[in-house]
Chain A
Amino acid sequence: MTLRPDLSIIAATVQPRTRVLDIGCGDGALMAALRDRHGCDARGLELDARDVAAAMGRGLSVVQGDADIDLADYPDNSFDYAILSQTLQTTRRPDWVLDQLLRIGRRAFVSFPNFAHWRVRASLLFGGRMPVTRLLPVEWYATPNIHHVTVDDFRAFLKTRGIVVEGCWFLSGDQRTGSAMANLFAEHAVFLLRRAE
C-alpha cells in the first residue's frame, strides 16, 4: 500500500506504539499504516460518511464528526500525536482547530497545500483567475479550501502563538524540496509542532 507523500513522512516520523488521533482521516490509509507497521493505537475523525464506513470496514476506530465542532470533546493530552493532513485549509476556524490539536495531542502534525507555490502565483498573476492546480483541483465556487494559507503565513502564525516547530518537510510533486525557498517552491508542507513549555 502506497501512502500519499505527506502521509509517508508522517508515518515515518511517528514513534511506534503511540496513541494517534488522525483528524480528517479519510478512508483510514494512514491510520491502518500506523497500526499495522508501528503498533499505534490510532483513532480517527472524518466528516464524510462513506470514508468513515470504509475506515470502519478496515477495523479502525473512526468517529464521523466535524473538526470545527467535535474536537472540543477530546480530553487534554489524550494522544501522543494529533494529525491534521490536508484539512487545515478546509476548516472554518483554523486557529481554533490548531489550538485544539495542541491541547489534545502532545505533538501535532499539520500538512497543507502551499498557496504561495510559484504555479499558484503564476496562475493568479498571469491568468488572473483563481488557481486550479494538481493540489488545488477544484474551481473557486466548489472548493472545500476556504482558508488558503502559505508556508510563510503558517510560520508567522506559529511564531505569534509561540508554537515550537520540531520538524518541517516540503514537497514539490513527490520530491522533497528545500526549506529556504519553500514558500516559492513547495507545493505542500508538513509541520511537526508542540506547545512551548
Chain B
Amino acid sequence: MSEDARFGLSRTVTLPGPLRLDGGVLLSPVDIAYETYGTLAPDGGNAILVCHALTGDHHLASNHPRTGKPGWWTRMVGPSKPIDTDKYLVICANVLGSCLGSSGPATINPATGKPWAMAFPVITIRDMVRAQAMLLDHLGIARLFAVVGGSMGGMQALSWAATFPERVAAAVVIASAARHSAQNIAFHEVGRQAIMADHRWRGGDYYHDSDPPASGLAVARMAAHITYLSEAGLTAKFGRRLQARDAKTFGFDADFQVESYLRHQGLSFVDRFDANSYLYITRALDYFDLAEEHGGTLANAFRGDTRFCLVSFDTDWLYPTSESRTIVHALNAAGAPASFVELSSPFGHDAFLLESPELDRVIGGFLQNGTPR
C-alpha cells in the first residue's frame, strides 16, 4: 500500500464528478485535499474517516507542511492513541467550500479561469459528505469502520449515517447537533455581516489583489471564538485583568486581557482563512437540519444498523447537551445502538479538542467494541 500514491500525507485529487449539490447545481470537477494514516486492511474493513470542524483542515495528525504546527487532533489520532493508526487506516479530508485545498470559492472556476468567489454554489453539510463519499470511492473503500467528528465534524458524521447508512458501521458525534438553532444562526449572521460590511469584501471579488476583507473576517472570528469558550473558562483565564497596564486608559485600546486575546485570535485567523470560505461554510452549517431532510422526524434519519457514540460537554453552550439528547432520543426511538455521555469540562465547546482522558476512554472503548473478534 505504501507504493500507492492515493495514500499518505498532503494528497490532493481532482475527481471528475459531477457532484450534484443540494442546491441543484452540478459541480465538476471536484478537488479534494486529504491525508491518510496507517494501512488499509486487505479486506478494507479498518477505515476511519475523521471529519473536521468549521475552520479545520486535513492535517489531522501530521505537522502542517507550511506552518510546521502539529495536526489539530494529534492527541486523539496516532499510534497507540484512541484512534490508533497502527490498527486503522485514518482518513481526513478538507471539506468542500473550504480554502485549505478542496474546491471552494477561492479555487479556480474552470468556466472562467478565475476564482469562483461568490459564483461558487452554496453547499450543505450533506454535499460535503457526498464529496467525501466520492473520495472513498477513489480510495476503494466501500464501508467505513467508523466516521468520527466534533462540532461541524459531528454533523458530517450524522449526515454520513443518514445519507450512506450501508457505508457506515459506527459514528462518533462529539459536541455537535442535528440542526443549527436560531442562536447558532444568529451568531453566524453577525460574522457574515462583519465580513460583508468590510469595504474590501467587494461582493466577494477580492482575489485579484492582496487586500482581502481581513478586518471583517477578524471580527467574525472574534464573535465566533466567544461561542467556543465558556464564561467560567473566560473568567478563569482573564477575569477583568488589564493587559500590560496598571490602570484603565479611558480610551479604546485593548485595556482588558480578554480584548487583547480576542483581537489576537481574529488577527491570526485571517492569515490562514479565506473570508468567502467562511461565508460558505457557515451557511452550510446554518442550513443543516437533519430532521428536515427526513420528513421532519429525526428518528427517520437513522434507519441503518450504524452504531452511535455521542459525547457532549457540560459547559458547551454552542452545541449544548440538550442538542445531543435530542439525537439520543431519536436514536432510541429508531432502536439504533447508541451510547451517550455528558463529560465535565470547564472549557466550553473547545473541550472536544483538549486533553480529556475520559473522552479518550470513551472513544477508544467504543471503537474497540466494533473490532471483529
Contacts and interface: CB of A to CB of B under 8 A. Distances in A.
Nearest to B370: A59
A189 interface: no
A75 B333 contact: yes
A105 to B, nearest CB: 13
Given A53-B361, A56-B362, A61 B332 contact: no
Interface string B288-315: 0000000000000000000101000000
B344 to A, nearest CB: 7
Given A49-B343, A56-B309, A56-B362, A43 B369 contact: no
Nearest to B325: A65
B365 A73 contact: no
B361 A57 contact: yes
A54 B341 CA distance: 10
A118 interface: no
A64 to B, nearest CB: 5
Given A56-B309, A73-B329, A65 B340 contact: yes
Interface in A162-197: none
Contacts of A73: 328-329, 332-333
A41 B337 CA distance: 9
A60 interface: yes
A194 B351 CA distance: 44
A58 B365 contact: yes
A100 B342 CA distance: 24
Contacts of A53: 341, 343, 358, 361-362
B332 A59 contact: no
B352 to A, nearest CB: 15
A65 B307 CA distance: 18
Contact of A61 (B337, B342, B361): B337
B228 interface: no
Interface in A24-47: 41, 43
Interface of B: 307, 309, 325, 328-329, 332-333, 335, 337-344, 358, 361-362, 364-366, 368-370
Given A53-B341, A54-B361, A56-B362, 19 more contacts: A43-B337, A49-B342, A52-B339, A53-B343, A53-B361, A56-B309, A56-B365, A57-B361, A59-B365, A60-B369, A61-B307, A61-B337, A61-B338, A63-B328, A63-B332, A63-B340, A64-B341, A70-B332, A74-B332
Interface of A: 41, 43, 49, 52-54, 56-65, 70, 73-75, 78
10 contacts: A49-B344, A53-B341, A53-B361, A56-B366, A57-B361, A57-B362, A61-B338, A63-B328, A64-B342, A73-B333
